[in-house]
Structure 1
Amino acid sequence: MSKISLYTSLNSELKSQAIGVTTAELHGFISGILAGGNHDESWRTLVDDMMNDGKPLASSLSQLTTQLYEQTKQQLNDDNFEFQLVISDQNLFMQIDDMVGWINHFLLGLGLAQPQLAKVKGDVGEAIYDLRQITQLGYDEDDDQEELAFAFEEILEYVRMTVILCHDEFTEHTPSTTIH
């Protein structure tokens, strides 16, 4: 399923189940868990806790969430930096709002996977600090659309690379053994 159709299907299912998060927020949360190095089945419990007060999700929503998780995990483990944020493709203001919600939930998932996150230093610590600052940025609908779109694309790329940086930092990589 393409990124856009998964976004649309999940948003529709989240609304029909009266779940108070968006697809972007859910993807941010899952991305944070994965980037924080959590790759076991406990992600399901964390998602159930965050989205549904600890109760298991309805089957259709659970399937879509699992699909989103697997897609995200695959992208983060890809050596070609294929990871992309799942956010709206609608108007620029909706994309910006989705990105801010995505970042907030990413930081939540990352914090759950890495409880000592506040003590992280160096490039990763700086990047996490930057993410917190990005969520404070605002815009005015009267701002120059072209400039705003350019700034959004720049920030979106920075966020994407920060996720990959965190994933590389917190995920144990087993070296491949090549036999000659």
Structure 2
Amino acid sequence: MKTDSLLYTSLNNELKSHAIGVNTAELHGFLSGILAGGNHDESWRVLVDDMMNDGKPMANSLSKLITELYHQAKQQLNNDDFEFQLFIRDDELFAQIDDLVGWINHFLLGLGLAQPQLAKVKGDIGEAIYDLRQITQLGYDEDDDQEELAFALEEILEYVRMTVILCHDEFTERDQSTTIH
């Protein structure tokens, strides 16, 4: 499933017009990190305002778009059909790679805010988080074979997508199991 480029562009333009220092992919990564970290209450709004807008509430028009993006990600993550998708551009290859790096960095930020003890997580989740950090360090050269890069990007996107679902399942189950007595 490809990203809706019209929605991506309109949200990106809205973010720019309100001088918010992230793009759509980074915002989606941040929201996805919060959700994957097990945070499903309304505190996500405060985190977005704090991290993206110096603690000030977002403009109403932008807030509505961000809320839509949040609910879309939440619905996809809660769906048992693994339909969650990263919201990145679907056009030029190098733009996609840049979006992916920004998405992962902001995902890790959101995940860390939702799971403050993230550095202590071991096992498959700990390894996957380590892998995400390593992916953000990967570089490319514009002279690299575009076909090979495109193939590698698809593989990495799928790995990241499954890591997000794995984190969501792990942290959501853990949070729910601690409240049931």
TM range (shorter): over 0.9
Q: Which residue of 2 aligns with 1:127?
A: 128
- Matched with 2:146 is 145
Tell me the residue number matched to 2:27: 26
- Other structure's SS at 1:171 match: helix
Structure 1 consecutive aligned stretches of length 4 or more whose deviation exceeds 2 Å: 2-6, 172-175
| Correspondence list, 1:22-171, <5 A | 22-171=23-172
Distance across 1 between alignment mates of 2:91 and 2:4: 13
Q: CA deviation at 1:6?
A: 2.2
Report the residue type matching 1:21 in the other structure: V
Q: Cα distance, 1:139 vs. partner?
A: 0.1
Q: Which amino acid aligns with 2:148?
A: E
Q: What amino acid maps onto 1:92 in structure 2?
A: L
Structure 1 alignment gaps of length 5 or more = 176-180
1:5 Cα deviation (Å)? 2.6
Aligned residue pairs total: 174
Cα distance in 2 between the residues matched to 1:9 and 1:123? 37
Checking the alignment, whether the CA contact within 8 Å between 1:6 and 1:64 is kept in structure 2 is no
Instruction: String of CA shifts for 1:18-54, please: whole Å, max 9, x gaps.
Output: 1110000000000000000000000000000111000
Distance 1:20 1:90 in 2: 22
**Offset, 1:156:** 0.5
SS in 2 for 1:87: coil
Amino acid at match of 1:38: N
The gaps in structure 2 that reach 5 residues or longer are none
Structure 2 CA distance for aligned equivalents of residues 114 and 47 of structure 1: 16
Structure-2-length-normalised TM-score: 0.93
Q: Percent identity?
A: 83
Cα-to-partner distance string for 1:84-128 (whole Å, 9 max, x where unaligned): 000011200000000000000000000000000001011000000
C-alpha distance after superposition, 1:117-174 (max 9, x if no partner): 0010110000000000000000000000000000010001000000000000000386
